């Protein structure tokens, strides 16, 4: 049976629908950086998702080709995630999505080195006749955070964030969003198939002791 990160690491992918603390270890990701409204038709955000999945599935399906990755095990491609910020704004202003800066990411299994990542980019470009140069290998050490499962439309996230911040302050922590630590979302639902009110999104904010 394929290894499923969501099931094996429930503390990171399946938190409760109430705030809690979590320490997230260093992980490697496929990443594409960009800016602007993620809902814009023909925008760079939607392009970035296609690029990420192109490389993610090239790595996953390498088991069927001549290139065998050392330490490979069969796995379910982890969910799409995003780090979000807006220059000059503390936290997120959902009323000005055009000001978003973002890094779209998909987690990589530990057996994928930078060398194997480079092979996957070259292989995908050759097979798909697409430029994947925007995709990078990103290592991110997230550390201590408060997180919560948000159920509902993305535009209703502020209520979940407010609950997270109340919990954080009650526990003696302060928000620690910086130019290195970001508002983080993990998308567990396919918005093309799931009604907005049923969408599940992990929302995570970095914190430190007050």
* Percent of the chain predicted with pLDDT > 90: 90
Instruction: Identify the H or E element spanning 126.
Output: helix 114-128
Contact in structure between 147 and 19 (CB atoms under 8 Å) = yes
Could you tell me which of 2, 26, 28 has the C-alpha nearest to residue 115? 28
Q: H or E stretch including 127?
A: helix 114-128
**Measuring CA to CA, which residue among 141, 143, 83, 135 is closest to residue 114?**
135
The answer on pLDDT for 92 being more than 90 is no
Average pLDDT, the chain: 96
pLDDT range class, residue 191, cuts 50, 70, 90: confident
The conformation of residue 189, written as its DSSP 8-state character, comes to S
Secondary structure class of 182 (helix, strand, coil)? coil
Residue 145 pLDDT greater than 80, yes or no: yes
Which helix (H) or strand (E) is 52 found in, with range?
helix 44-60
Q: What percent of the chain has pLDDT over 70?
A: 100
Residue 90 has pLDDT above 80, yes or no: no
pTM of the model: 0.96
Identify the residue with better confidence: 115 or 92: 115
């Amino acid at each position: 049976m394929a290894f499923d990160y969501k099931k094996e690491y429930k503390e990171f992918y399946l938190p409760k629908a109430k705030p809690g603390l979590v320490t997230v270890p260093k992980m490697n990701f496929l990443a594409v950086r960009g800016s602007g409204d993620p809902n814009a038709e023909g925008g760079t955000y939607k392009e970035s998702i296609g690029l990420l999945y192109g490389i993610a599935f090239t790595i996953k399906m390498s088991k069927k080709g001549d290139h065998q990755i050392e330490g490979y095990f069969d796995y379910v491609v982890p969910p799409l995630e995003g780090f979000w910020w807006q220059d000059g704004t503390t936290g997120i202003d959902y009323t000005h999505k055009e000001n978003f800066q973002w890094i779209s990411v998909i987690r990589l299994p530990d057996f994928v080195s930078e060398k194997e990542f480079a092979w996957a980019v070259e292989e995908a470009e050759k097979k798909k006749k697409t430029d994947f140069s925007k995709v990078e290998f990103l290592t991110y050490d997230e550390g201590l955070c408060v997180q919560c499962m948000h159920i509902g439309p993305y535009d209703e996230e502020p209520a979940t964030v407010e609950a997270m911040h109340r919990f954080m302050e009650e526990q003696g922590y302060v928000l620690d969003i910086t130019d290195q630590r970001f508002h983080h979302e993990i998308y567990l639902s396919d918005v093309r198939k799931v009604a907005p009110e049923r969408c599940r999104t992990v929302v995570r904010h970095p914190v430190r002791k007050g």
